[in-house]
Amino acid sequence: MGIKMLLNAEAHYGVPVKIYTNDIDSESIDQLKKMSQLQFIHSHIAAMPDVHLGKGATVGSVIPTKNAIIPAAVGVDIGCGMNALRLSLKASQLPDNLSTLRNAIERKVPIGFGVHRQIKAKASTLSPLEKRLKVITDKHPALTRMLRNFDSTWAKQLGTLGGGNHFIELCLDENDDVWIMLHSGSRGLGNVIGTYFIERAKKEAQSRFGHVPDKDLSYFAEGSNSFDDYVEAVEWAQEYAYENRREMMRLILEAVRPLLPSFQMTKEAINCHHNYVQKEHHFGEDVFVTRKGAIRAGLDEYGIIPGSMGAKSFIVKGKGNPESFCSCSHGAGRKMSRSKAKRIFNQQDLIQQTQGIECRKDKGVVDEIPSAYKNIDEVMENQSDLIEVVHTLKQVLCIKG
């Protein structure tokens, strides 16, 4: 069973915090306490077993709010999430040397700060996004000045990976079936939208609910123009992130088809956010649920929980547990910062911990070393009452930005 630990907030109106692990640091606890003191939190806050310190709000937290949204809790990688697809191929049908596949994918999908030289996405995808975006930028023209070559950049970034912990992987499941899995979000424009509205929330007076215990918890109250504009913008960014993953998957399939035996895509395809906000019904109320580093795990709803680049990942099915607001973890969760990982580990450590995986093994990705993350098996054990495992995946190829 998942572990539930109740924190008593210092303020008299604090709500409980339900944490599904004992592996949590004091800074994260302090951050969760501050969030629990906000008067518009509904019922309680849930913290998933991959919980760790975040900017603005704790990563791995599920925050239900009434009549308010905290932009910093959603964060700047709006709509970041996962996409996974099972192919009709077996492990034995893969080439012995996977470097050719990796190179082909990297030629098709720009990584890091890279963008496509030309717009790759179809007009049927771009046109609806462009139309809705113009409505947003007409109200907030400052957004167009925050991204270089605004009009072309957001379109050329559709179908690109980004950097940090974003990845593309080729994996094998327990039946030796081949999967393609990827992790990415709303790229530069999502970051711009998040940054712009976070700063706007900090500047605006918060008169409806009073003082906030941390400026990063500044919010928009429902009914205000800023609230409506943020909801419109964040929904756009979430849709963009979803389409970005779809476009990347299309390009990956295009890259690997000439190099593999003929294959089909199975019906097992999943595309889910883990940094987002949406309206849901919980404990008798319609509330805005912000999942910062958590995925929705409604009854029989499929999701993806990746481990680190040297560990297992999981395709899961939700149990619809109301105490977690029908949520579960979004991954293993970091146990140390990127700067600390770079101080403790070196390139040789990375090579050793990623043996047997076709991936970058240079010092530029040492901060993504498996030892910088929590043990994925413990994370999964602590949320056994939130999800059931459908497939266990092990990567054989990993592309990092």
Q: Where are the domains of the chain?
A: 5-335+373-400
Is 64 annotated to bind a ligand? Reply is no
Reading the block at residue 350, the tokens are 């990375």
Contact 306, 313 (CB under 8 A): yes
CA angle at residue 77 from 118 to 246, to 5 degrees? 50
Which residue is catalytic, options 52, 116, 273, 330? 330
Contact 109, 168 (CB under 8 A): yes
Q: Are strands 294-296 and 327-329 parallel, antiparallel or unpaired?
A: antiparallel
Is 346 annotated to bind a ligand? Reply is no
- In this predicted structure, what is the pLDDT of residue 9? 46
- In this predicted structure, what is the pLDDT of residue 56? 79
CATH number given to 5-335+373-400: 3.90.1860.10
- In this predicted structure, what is the pLDDT of residue 5? 64
281 in active site:
no
Is 166 annotated to bind a ligand? Reply is yes
CA distance 179 to 183: 13
- In this predicted structure, what is the pLDDT of residue 1? 43
Is 183 annotated to bind a ligand? Reply is yes
- In this predicted structure, what is the pLDDT of residue 58? 95
Is 330 annotated to bind a ligand? Reply is yes
CA angle at residue 314 from 53 to 364, to 5 degrees? 55
* SS3 state of residue 334: strand
Contact 291, 115 (CB under 8 A): no
Is 331 annotated to bind a ligand? Reply is yes
Is 332 annotated to bind a ligand? Reply is yes
- In this predicted structure, what is the pLDDT of residue 44? 96
Contact 49, 327 (CB under 8 A): no
Is 308 annotated to bind a ligand? Reply is yes
Contact 200, 142 (CB under 8 A): no
Is 275 annotated to bind a ligand? Reply is yes
- In this predicted structure, what is the pLDDT of residue 273? 97
Alpha carbon 378 to its chain's center: 20
Is 313 annotated to bind a ligand? Reply is yes
* SS3 state of residue 165: coil
Is 309 annotated to bind a ligand? Reply is yes
Q: What residues have CB less than 8 Å from 239, skipping those under 6 apart?
A: 79, 129
Q: How far lies 113's CA from each of 101, 194, 338, in Å?
A: 21, 18, 18
pLDDT tens per residue across all 401 residues of the chain: 455 666 654 444 589 999 999 999 999 999 999 999 999 999 999 999 999 999 879 999 999 999 999 999 999 999 999 999 999 999 999 999 999 999 999 999 999 999 999 999 999 999 999 999 999 999 999 999 999 999 999 999 999 999 989 999 999 999 999 999 999 999 999 999 999 999 999 988 666 666 788 889 999 999 999 999 999 999 999 999 999 999 999 999 999 999 999 999 987 889 999 999 999 999 999 999 999 999 999 999 999 999 988 889 999 999 999 999 999 999 999 999 999 999 999 999 999 999 999 999 999 999 999 999 999 999 999 999 999 999 999 999 999 97
